[in-house]
């Protein structure tokens, strides 16, 4: 690798989380103001909608800090944890190339809102844990894995469709 490679979070995911979060919070507030039965409005619409909107807004800062940097000495990951379709707070991890044990690619099937969704998941197995990279975290996970595979000499194993 001649120069460091720096990958940031997907802009469309950041925009989606931010805009949808703001829209849900506004919807909850407006519904609370115009509803005739305040108790049912609060319990059935405002709380679930508002809390979902707030949760989405809390995911935006970690996504803005998301970064994958590949350089001569190793790889730096500051990515959220992808767990079963949810983005959870991650941590900054610095890996040497020798710490990477295995690279895999799998297509996983999730059912958000009862609809099937296939997600390409690329996983780094390391001495410091396993790290999953998806298009929701990095716009070019395939390129990241190709660079890591070229540097480490380990192939990206294709695991196919996992349910």
- Looking at the structure, do residues 74 and 92 belong to the same domain, yes or no? yes
Domain boundary among 47, 62, 77: 62
Same domain, 145 and 88: yes
Query: Is the per-residue pLDDT at 1 higher than 70?
Result: no
Residues 81 and 135 in one domain: yes
Highest mean pLDDT, choosing among 38-42, 64-68, 86-90: 64-68
Strands, sheet with 156-162, edge to edge from the N-terminal-most edge strand: 129-133, 117-126, 100-110, 156-162
| C-beta separation of 110 from 84 below 8 A | yes
At residue 139 the predicted structure's pLDDT band, cuts being 50, 70 and 90, is confident
Q: Within this chain, do residues 127 and 145 fall inside the same structural domain, yes or no? A: yes
The average pLDDT across 120-140 equals 87
Q: Are residues 73 and 131 in the same domain?
A: yes
Domain count for the chain, please give it: 2
Indicate whether 129 and 73 sit together in one domain: yes
Same domain, 57 and 69: no
For position 85, what pLDDT does the model report? 58
For the chain, helix (H) and strand (E) counts, in that order, are 4, 10
What is the residue range of 91's domain?
5-9+65-162
Question: For residue range 18-37, what is the model confidence (pLDDT) as tens digits?
Answer: 999 999 999 998 888 888 88
Instruction: Clarify whether residues 81 and 51 are in a common domain.
Output: no
């Amino acid at each position: 690798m001649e120069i460091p490679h720096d990958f940031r979070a997907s802009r469309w995911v950041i925009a989606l989380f931010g805009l949808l979060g703001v829209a849900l919070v506004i919807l909850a507030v407006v519904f609370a103001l115009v509803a005739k039965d305040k108790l049912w409005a609060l319990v059935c619409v405002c709380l679930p909608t508002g809390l979902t909107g707030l949760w989405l807004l809390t995911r935006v800062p970690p996504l803005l800090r998301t970064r994958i940097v590949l350089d001569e000495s190793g790889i730096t990951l500051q990515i959220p944890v992808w767990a079963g379709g949810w983005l959870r707070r991650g941590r900054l991890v610095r890996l040497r190339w020798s710490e990477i044990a295995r690279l895999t690619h799998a297509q996983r099937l999730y059912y958000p809102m009862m609809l099937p969704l296939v997600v390409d998941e690329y996983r780094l197995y390391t001495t410091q844990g396993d790290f999953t990279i998806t298009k929701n975290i990095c716009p070019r996970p395939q390129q990241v894995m190709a660079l890591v595979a070229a540097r480490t000499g380990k192939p990206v194993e294709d695991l196919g469709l996992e349910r």
